[in-house]
């Protein structure tokens, strides 16, 4: 479809199945993201969030279980970390990086920047980058705006201004886009074109919305539908040779039967043939090299027009 200014974040032209390629002839790209943001709402982490028993469990027993499992399966995950968590748990974050996992940024306080000025958001992004670089010895390549449990919408908190700032501050990718089921380019200025590589995110593959207490009172937890979603989506994407991302938190999926469910699924994935299981940084590097924006984007003049009586 042609570009529609102020209507979509990309040109809506996906890479068709027969053109997709993964390293070493793999059939599918698999990306495991671990969310270490304890913030319950858009204002970001507060003292209650940081001191909650659930987060304490996640950063100790839950995280230990995750790291042992990932090591046993040979999986490299991407851990998304707010700057405050990187400071409060500096030794833990360093040990995660030393184990071969990627540390990506998730805001100063894991906050929603929607109500921030661009200047304030830019300062927070710089401060976050500096904090993570000081903690692990290298700057993060990826920026995430994952949703929080009390958010009104389960879509995360990336906006055009965030993408522009991420470009200006040297990020290689952002990690939670909704416009495609493959990595794509979030376009902020079609005239440039100005864009940033964006990795897909789906809340129906995120344990946040299945393993917390649902506000609608539909039950204490719903692990079975989450496992069903993982299996069904992975099978569908494997058949087509596309991409599968999933997001988990040790504060939620580190508990007994929930961890068993996660382990079961990850063992299924890692025993499948031709799976390119990689960190977000590795996925982004492969995609940028083989499907660069210059040859992938097919932007055309907008057919979208605003009129006085339109609802746009």
Strand partners of residue 244: 30
Written as tens digits, the pLDDT of the chain (312 aa) is 334 555 455 655 788 999 999 999 999 999 999 999 999 999 999 999 999 999 999 999 999 999 999 999 999 999 999 999 999 999 999 999 999 999 999 999 999 999 999 999 999 999 999 999 999 999 999 999 999 988 888 889 999 999 999 999 999 999 999 989 999 999 998 888 899 999 999 999 999 888 765 544 455 567 888 999 999 999 999 999 999 999 999 999 999 999 999 999 999 999 999 999 999 999 999 999 999 999 888 877 666 666 777 665
Q: How far apart are CA 83 and CA 130, in angstroms?
A: 9
pLDDT at 176: 92
Helical residues (DSSP H) of 137-216, grouped into ranges:
160-168
pLDDT at 311: 64
The torsion defined by the Cα of 238, 209, 228 and 29, in degrees rounded to 10, comes to 10
Q: Where are the domains of the chain?
A: 27-296
- Please report the DSSP string for 144-162 in residue order: -----TT-SSTT----HHH
**In this structure, CATH architecture of domain 27-296:** Alpha-Beta Barrel (3.20)
- Rounded to the nearest angstrom, the gap between the alpha carbon of residue 142 and the centroid of all alpha carbons in its chain is 9
Beta carbons within 8 Å of 73's beta carbon, 6+ residues apart: 266, 267, 270
Q: How far apart are CA 123 and CA 130, in angstroms?
A: 11
pLDDT at 89: 98
Tokens 């000025």 belong to residue: 117
CB 131 within 8 Å of CB 93: no
pLDDT at 217: 46
pLDDT at 191: 80
pLDDT at 309: 72
Residue 105: in which H helix or E strand, if any? strand 102-105
* 0.85 exceeded by pTM: yes
């Amino acid at each position: 479809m042609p570009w529609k200014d102020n209507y979509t974040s990309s040109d809506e032209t996906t890479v068709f199945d027969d053109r997709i390629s993964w390293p070493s002839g793999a059939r599918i790209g698999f990306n495991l993201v671990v969310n270490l943001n304890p913030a319950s709402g858009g204002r970001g982490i507060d003292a209650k969030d940081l001191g909650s028993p659930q987060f304490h469990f996640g950063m100790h027993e839950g995280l230990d279980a995750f790291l042992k499992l990932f090591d046993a399966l040979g999986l490299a995950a991407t851990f998304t970390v707010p700057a405050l968590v990187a400071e409060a748990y500096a030794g833990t974050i360093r040990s995660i990086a030393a184990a071969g996992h990627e540390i990506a940024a998730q805001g100063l306080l894991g906050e929603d920047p929607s109500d921030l000025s661009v200047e304030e958001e830019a300062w927070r992004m710089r401060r976050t980058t500096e904090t993570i670089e000081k903690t692990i010895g290298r700057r993060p390549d990826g920026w995430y705006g994952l949703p929080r449990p009390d958010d009104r919408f389960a879509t995360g908190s990336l906006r055009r201004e965030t993408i522009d700032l991420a470009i200006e501050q040297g990020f290689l990718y952002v990690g939670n886009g909704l416009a495609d089921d493959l990595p794509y380019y979030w376009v902020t200025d079609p005239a440039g074109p100005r864009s940033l590589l964006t990795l897909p995110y789906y809340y129906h593959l995120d344990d946040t919305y299945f393993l917390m207490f649902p506000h609608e009172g539909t039950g204490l937890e719903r692990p079975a539908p989450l496992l069903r979603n993982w299996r069904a989506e992975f099978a569908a994407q494997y058949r087509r040779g596309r991409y599968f991302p999933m997001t988990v938190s040790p504060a939620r999926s580190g508990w007994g039967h929930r961890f068993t469910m996660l382990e079961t699924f990850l063992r299924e994935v890692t025993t499948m043939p031709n799976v390119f299981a990689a960190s977000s940084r590795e996925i982004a590097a492969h995609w940028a090299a083989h499907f660069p924006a210059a040859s992938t984007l097919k932007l055309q003049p907008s057919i979208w027009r605003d009129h006085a009586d339109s609802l746009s």
